[in-house]
Every structure is written in C-alpha cells, then in structure tokens.
Amino acid sequence: MFLLQDITKVFNAGKASEVAAVQGLTLGLQPQSFTVLVGANGSGKSTLLNLIAGSTYPDKGRMLLHDREIQRLPDYRRSRWIGRVFQNPLLGTAASLSVLDNFRMAALRRSTKWVRLGTGGAFRKQVAEKVATLGMGLENKLTQPMGTLSGGQRQALTLLMTVMADVDILLLDEPSAALDPRSAKEVMEIANRLIAEDRLTALLVTHNINEALRYGTRLIQMENGKIVRDYDETTKTTLDHATVVSWFDYY
C-alpha cells in the first residue's frame, strides 16, 4: 500500500504570496487500484503529483511505500517504484533518437522485467513484440526518429516505456490533454489496459469529466489543497456528467 499521512506543502511561506498548495492531506492507495483525481486549477493536484514523484518535498507529513518512508527521497531514487507520464508527449521521449534508442535509454535507466539490457537482435525483437501490442503499427518504425511520430504515438510509447520499468505506481498527469480527441481516447484505452495487465497502482489527474467517469475504480476531488470528495467504485458508478460538472465553478 502507498500511504500519505498529513501531507502539507506551502509555497512562499511567510510572504504575501504564500500559498498552501496541499493542507494536511491523508490518502491511501491500495495495491492494483486505479484512482482518478479531479479539481479546479490551483486545487493542488499537480503539487500532489510532484510530492509523490519527489520533484518537491512536503513541509510536513509522511509518505510510506511498502512500509518505507520515502518523503525525503529524491525523484531519481523514487523512479525505481514510481513512474510518471506528463501531459506533453515531448517530455517523455528524445525526439532526435530512434524509437529503439529511446527504449534502450529507458532500459538502461532502470532494471526491467521484460527487456534485457543490450543492443543486439534479441533486444530489438523484444521491443518490437511489446510495441506491437499497442496496435499502432509502430513495431515497423523502430528506426524512425521519435520526433517524426505524432503526439499520440509518442505518448503511447512513453506509457509503454514507463510501464516496462516494472514500477509499482503509475502517475498519469493529464496524459491525453495535449492530444486530439481520437488520439486521446486511444492513449487512455492503452493506459487502462497496461494498468490492468501489469497490475499497477495508478493515479490519473484529469480535467476531462468523461475520462474521470469512464476510467478508474475511485474518484477523488481536491479543492484548496484538500480532498473534499472521495467515491469508491460502487458509488462512482452512480455519478453522471452533469453531477461532476456541478462541482466546479469554472464550468
């Protein structure tokens, strides 16, 4: 289980511009659960993901993963257990390198369960087989520079490279927001399948109400750095689009 206990993060403390981005937040994520997080801009969603990933540290509170405190571990050490996919497809890949070389870099950064480190034919074959499961024909484009692919294709490959690292927790930071509707749906379906197949604990941040209702087994809303709504799988199925939209003043 991944547990956050009484997490607080304040920016510009003691100044006129002070912002309490996360306030005394406690959240437990059960193994192999898929939680969706929604909230208005400034509600604390991105800060929470940054705290979990280790790109910023809490001012107060504890984070426990497998009963080990990790709140002071830097992001590069947490990456052994926690993977993150960003909104911008450009952030997850190296545009000038080939698809195969991007996978090789990902494999060299972490130990993996399905890719053996190397540069030969066996490595290429394993990558091609895994990429083929995306159903996008990209297994025939392994020598192409990553930058020549569409945003949806790059985001799908980023998902695959993140999952291949054998992480325990997958953070999805609005992974479809920068994509056209067709590509967005395709990427989210791929993410949903990979989460189930690899039995990951996943946390999706989204502004897309349809995604929030369609995916995941739990729905949480943040407001002013706190969790204000928390629906389990059974209760979540009773929600509709109009109800969730009514939670936000900006709609």
Residue 87 to residues 174, 206, 225, Cα–Cα distance (Å): 5, 10, 21
For the stretch 72-111, pLDDT in tens is 999 989 988 999 999 998 888 999 999 999 998 887 766 5
Q: Quick check: 150 and 183 in contact, CB under 8 A?
A: yes
pTM of the model: 0.93
Check residues 117 and 19 and name the one with the higher pLDDT. 19
Does the domain at residues 2-245 carry the CATH identifier 3.40.50.300? yes
Which residues on neighbouring strands pair with residue 202, listed in sequence order?
A: 34, 170
Tell me: the pLDDT tens digits for 221-246? Answer: 999 999 999 999 999 999 999 999 99
Angle at which helices 121-132 and 151-163 cross, to 10°: 120
Pairing of strands 2-11, 19-29: antiparallel
Mean pLDDT of 169-196: 96
Residue position matching structure tokens 């993140």: 162
Residue ranges of domains in the chain: 2-245
C-alpha to C-alpha distance for 228 and 23, rounded to whole angstroms: 12
- More confident call, 112 vs 189: 189
pLDDT single digits (tens) 104-138: 888 776 655 555 555 578 889 989 999 999 999 99
